[in-house]
């Protein structure tokens, strides 16, 4: 497919067993052979599992564990919403089982808060966007790249027990973990341009990305 244009709105869809688990509008910063780089900011359209939306609202009757059970059973429903609080920069190399995300404060300071590595399936390009699937485990990296820690290991183990992530995919995740730590140690990939991304600002002329109407 032709590269996406700078400033183009694209749709990221997380798809599991043929069904959309979540979707997010993104604005394209760069689409090169080495990586697709996109961004989002407060107000950007998203659709997320209704249970996750309830967790974010502080509903005590909802839990992330429940959401993972619904994922395994195929019983989730989607809730429309908006990206909140932070500005997101997303870097994804072709064929990679991870994306590297930078989160910035959503205020005028636009301060880099953290790097966040999301382990996920490689992108499959579609007209107007791409499909992937979040594989539940993540890596948090300090803004200055001096420290890191794993996130959601329990949720990942729960997903393994429920059959969401099979042995073959688990092997891909294990390999991707080592790849990311090597990129960090070598200051390679997006970490080679950490200063550039720390100073990055989106084009203020870009309108907030929106999603197309859901299919009936």
Tens-place pLDDT, residues 46-61: 999 999 999 988 999 8
Q: How confident is the model at residue 215 (pLDDT cuts 50, 70, 90)?
A: low
Locate the domains of the chain by residue range: 8-199
Q: What's the pTM value of the predicted model, to 2 decimals?
A: 0.94
- Smallest CA-to-CA distance from 152 within 103, 99, 116 is with 116
Q: How far is CA 169 from CA 37, 93, 108, in A?
A: 24, 18, 40
Strand pairing class (9-16; 129-132): parallel
Q: What is the pLDDT of residue 213?
A: 77
- pLDDT over threshold 90, residue 151: yes
Containing H/E element for 96? none
Q: 11 pairs with which residues across the strands?
A: 25, 129
Nearest residue to 6 (alpha-carbon basis) of 38, 33, 35: 38
List pLDDT tens digits, range 165-193. Answer: 999 999 999 999 999 999 999 999 999 98
- Indicate if the pLDDT at residue 216 is higher than 70: no
Per-chain mean pLDDT for the chain: 94
CATH of domain 8-199: 2.40.380.10
What tokens does 56 get? 């974010």
Q: What is the pLDDT of residue 134?
A: 97
Please determine, for residue 155, whether its predicted confidence score (pLDDT) is greater than 80.
yes
Sign of CA dihedral 131, 136, 142, 146: negative
CA distances from 130 to 1, 9, 42, 89, 146 (A): 11, 11, 21, 16, 32
């Amino acid at each position: 497919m032709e590269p996406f244009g700078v400033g183009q709105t694209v749709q990221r869809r997380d798809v599991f067993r043929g069904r959309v688990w979540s979707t997010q509008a993104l604005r394209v910063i760069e689409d090169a052979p080495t990586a697709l780089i996109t961004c989002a900011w407060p107000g950007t359209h998203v659709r997320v599992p209704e249970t996750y939306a309830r967790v974010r609202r502080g509903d005590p009757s909802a839990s992330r564990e429940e959401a993972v059970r619904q994922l395994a059973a195929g019983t989730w429903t989607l809730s429309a919403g908006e990206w909140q609080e932070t500005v997101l920069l997303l870097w994804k190399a072709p064929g990679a089982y991870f994306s590297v995300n930078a989160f910035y404060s959503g205020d005028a300071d636009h301060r880099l808060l953290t790097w966040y590595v999301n382990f996920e399936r490689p992108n499959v390009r579609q007209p107007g966007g791409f499909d992937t699937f979040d594989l539940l485990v993540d890596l948090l990296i300090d803004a200055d790249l001096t420290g890191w820690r794993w996130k959601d290991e329990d949720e990942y183990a729960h997903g393994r027990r429920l059959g969401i992530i099979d042995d073959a995919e688990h092997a891909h995740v294990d390999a991707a973990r080592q790849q990311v730590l090597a990129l960090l140690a070598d200051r390679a990939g997006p970490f080679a341009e950490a200063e550039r991304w720390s100073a990055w600002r989106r084009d203020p002329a870009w309108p907030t990305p929106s999603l197309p109407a859901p299919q009936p």
